[in-house]
């Protein structure tokens, strides 16, 4: 990991101009922009950092054979409240055991079966944000015009299907909640995780928490654990701990492939300004850096398993569904220790 450039935007949140999000976002977008890095036709962004040697390295991390799902449930008991038409999944049975018992299905020789359907927004539970999810002043990833990329037909260029067989790599858990709040394991709502926090967490966790090119970094805040204990409340869209806008430089120079958190929005909420602002780190990371972002991940069992072993790295598979033209995808990430 290279040192911070002297001319790079500040990594101390206290130095943000809290009345000028436009300038603060623009400075980081320009400083950490990866447009053209993998060619004009690129559709993967920082997922390009994952290569065959990285996957071989990740496979070599499996010792115990313990596989852990990092997904929240996909059901009606989820946290969504309808913001921008994001609802919890609606699961409906088309055929049931009752139908089979009553012989109403029309199958021969006593055969019966069950079938079902689910309707849901693609980002209602554990998911990836695709590269077509966020734009910056009308531009999408790699400098393309947003309207040329995503239309009513979907993401015509960087659809999530391009990543279907890509997201297998070394995962690293940075348990910032446990590190900074050992008494509770939970960061308070509105806590902005800084680059210094991430570095100190890595130092405290030791060598297996080192972060570098092609890694998928998982940041545990403890917010999901609190929501499960106290009730969903405003978990979906309300105040939450998360990454500070000032971590953009760290996310860029570490050359990580992707990053995910146990929160609804990945970055700290409320955002770090005294005037209207909305998800400024998304605006830098996705369309400018080409960084794939995960949200709503369940890192609780992984946190316990890693702490018990004193080992914070693992094989991680987190393939999106091959939904043509989608700008995000539900996933069931699996960490194998």
Digit-coded pLDDT (tens) for 85-118: 999 999 999 999 999 999 999 999 999 999 999 9
What's the Cα-to-Cα distance from 308 to each of 138, 171, 210, 311, 337, rounded to whole Å? 47, 17, 18, 8, 12
203, 280 Cβ separation under 8 angstroms: no
Residues 204 and 190 both lie in one domain = yes
The number of domains in the chain is: 2
* Domain span holding position 115: 90-119
7 falls within a domain = no
Taking the C-alpha atoms of residue 266 and residue 293, their distance in angstroms, rounded to an integer, is 8
The predicted structure's pLDDT at residue 199: 98
Residues 239 and 103 both lie in one domain = no
Residues 231 and 103 both lie in one domain = no
Percentage helix, strand, coil for the chain under 3-state DSSP, each rounded to 5: 30, 20, 50
Candidates 160, 176, 69; CA nearest to 123 is: 160
- Cβ–Cβ contacts within 10 Å for residue 317, how many? 18
Q: Is the pLDDT of residue 1 over 60?
A: no
CA angle 186, 271, 139 (to 5 degrees): 125
pLDDT, tens digit, for every residue of 42-71? Answer: 999 999 999 999 999 999 999 999 999 999
Residues 73 and 194 both lie in one domain = yes
Helix (H, G, I), strand (E, B) or coil at 282: helix
Q: Number of helices (H) and strands (E) in the chain: give both, helices first.
A: 10, 15
- Please, what's the b/e burial string for 132-144 (b: 16 or more CB within 10 A of its CB; e: otherwise)? bbbbbeebbbbeb
Percent of the chain with pLDDT over 90: 97
Residues 108 and 191 both lie in one domain = no
Q: Is the pLDDT of residue 213 over 60?
A: yes
148 falls within a domain = yes
Residues 242 and 281 both lie in one domain = yes
Residues 322 and 239 both lie in one domain = yes
Taking the C-alpha atoms of residue 238 and residue 260, their distance in angstroms, rounded to an integer, is 18
Residues 115 and 127 both lie in one domain = no
Helix (H, G, I), strand (E, B) or coil at 20: coil
pTM of the model: 0.96
DSSP 8-state code for residue 172: E
CA angle 191, 247, 328 (to 5 degrees): 90
pLDDT, tens digit, for every residue of 281-336? Answer: 999 999 999 999 999 999 999 999 999 999 999 999 999 999 999 999 999 999 99
Residues 26 and 136 both lie in one domain = yes
**CATH code for the domain of 319:** 3.50.30.50
Helix (H, G, I), strand (E, B) or coil at 174: strand
The predicted structure's pLDDT at residue 3: 67
Residues 217 and 113 both lie in one domain = no
- Cβ–Cβ contacts within 10 Å for residue 328, how many? 25
Residues 75 and 98 both lie in one domain = no
Query: What DSSP line would sit under 247-277, residue for residue?
Result: GHHHHHHTT-SEEEESSSSSB-BS-S-SS--
Percent of the chain with pLDDT over 70: 99
CA angle 323, 37, 35 (to 5 degrees): 70
Query: What DSSP line would sit under 22-85, residue for residue?
Result: HHHHHHHHHHT--TTTT-TT-SSGGGGG--HHHHHHHHTT-SS--EEE-BPP-STTSS---GGG
| Cα 235 to chain centroid, rounded | 16
């Amino acid at each position: 990991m290279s040192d911070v450039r002297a001319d790079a935007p500040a990594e101390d949140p206290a130095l943000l101009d809290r009345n000028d999000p436009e300038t603060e976002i623009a400075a980081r977008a320009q400083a950490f922009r990866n447009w053209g890095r993998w060619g004009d036709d690129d559709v993967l962004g920082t997922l390009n950092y994952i290569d065959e040697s990285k996957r071989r390295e990740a496979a070599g991390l499996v010792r115990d054979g313990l596989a852990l799902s990092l997904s929240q449930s996909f059901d009606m008991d989820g946290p969504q409240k309808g913001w921008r038409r994001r609802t919890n999944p609606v699961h409906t049975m088309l055929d049931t055991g009752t139908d089979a018992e009553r012989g109403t299905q029309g199958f021969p020789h006593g055969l019966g079966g069950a079938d079902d359907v689910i309707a849901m927004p693609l980002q209602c539970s554990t998911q990836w944000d695709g590269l077509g999810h966020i734009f910056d002043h009308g531009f999408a990833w790699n400098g393309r015009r947003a309207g040329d990329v995503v239309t009513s037909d979907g993401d015509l260029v960087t659809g999530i299907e391009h990543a279907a067989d890509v997201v297998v790599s070394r995962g690293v858990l940075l348990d910032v909640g446990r590190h900074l709040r050992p008494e509770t394991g939970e960061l308070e709502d509105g806590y902005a995780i800084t680059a210094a926090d991430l570095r100190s967490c890595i130092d405290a966790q030791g060598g297996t928490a080192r972060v570098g090119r092609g890694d998928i970094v998982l940041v545990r805040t403890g917010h999901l654990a609190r929501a499960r204990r106290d009730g969903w409340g405003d978990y979906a869209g309300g105040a939450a701990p998360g990454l500070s806008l000032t971590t953009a430089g760290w996310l860029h120079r570490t050359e990580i492939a992707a990053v995910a958190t146990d929160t609804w929005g990945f970055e700290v909420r409320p955002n770090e300004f005294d005037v209207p602002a909305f998800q400024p780190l998304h605006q830098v990371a996705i369309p400018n850096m080409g960084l794939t972002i995960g949200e709503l991940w369940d890192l609780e069992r992984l946190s316990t398993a890693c702490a018990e072993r004193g080992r914070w790295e693992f094989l991680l598979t987190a393939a999106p569904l091959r939904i043509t033209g989608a700008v995000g995808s539900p996933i069931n990430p699996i960490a194998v220790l």
